[in-house]
Amino acid sequence: MESSHEQIIAWLHDAHAMERNVEHVLGWHLKEAQNYPAVREQLEKHLAETREHARRIGAALEALGAHASVAKDLAAGAFGALQGMSTGIFRDEPVKNALAEYAMEHLEIATYSALIAAAEGAGFVDLSHTCSDILREETAMALWLEDRIPQITREYLERVPNAG
């Protein structure tokens, strides 16, 4: 049976892979949000935060005597289903992307909530603080999306006649 230390390292690998996936997805969404300046601005901000999350989780792995692995990141592929959402004949990326981002942020929120509990249980104070910092930024992004999705949807629908 794995020790809690080994289990925490495994979850940190998962979190690192998740952040790298989010980084890629946000990069694609940024390109598709060119006509939505407020969305672009927020995506750019959260993309920078996401890169920092991956860096901090990598550093946390090093501190526990492990290191982030590209192979494990690629194998994880947590967001394949979200990435594959079809846009069909409608160019509704701004809406679909916001929905996918909202789902991604909530997986991140759940992940860091679990990691904080595990870190606290193991007495890893620094790791608990790192995960709490990251959790605050994921929660802020999720709240921004929750607040903004109705407006993104209205803006998209107003543009539908010109979108085809």
Binding site for Fe ion (CB under 5 A): 50, 53, 108
| Phi and psi torsions of 65, nearest 5° | 85, 15
Min CB(163)–Fe ion separation in Å? 30
Helix axes 93-122, 4-32, angle to 10 degrees: 160
- In the bound state with Fe ion, the residue whose beta carbon lies nearer, of 55 and 159, is 55
Tell me the residue length of the chain.
164
Question: Which helix (H) or strand (E) element contains residue 100?
Answer: helix 93-122
User: What is the distance between the alpha carbons of residues 135 and 35, in angstroms, rounded to a whole number?
Assistant: 29
Q: Which is nearer to Fe ion, 118 or 156 (CB)?
A: 118
For Fe ion, give the closer residue by CB, 43 or 156: 43
Q: How far is the CB of 128 from Fe ion (least distance, A)?
A: 17
9-21 burial, b at 16+ Cβ within 10 Å, e below that, comes to bebbbbbbbbbbb
Containing 99, the helix (H) or strand (E) segment is: helix 93-122
The nearest distance, CB 105 to Fe ion, in angstroms, is 8
For residues 6 and 44, which CB has a smaller minimum distance to Fe ion in the complex? 44
Residue nearest to Fe ion (CB): 53
Closest distance to Fe ion from the beta carbon of 91 (Å)? 27
Q: Residue 84 Cβ, how far from Fe ion at the closest point, in Å?
A: 21
Q: Which is nearer to Fe ion, 101 or 156 (CB)?
A: 101
Q: How far apart are CA 145 and CA 152, in angstroms?
A: 9
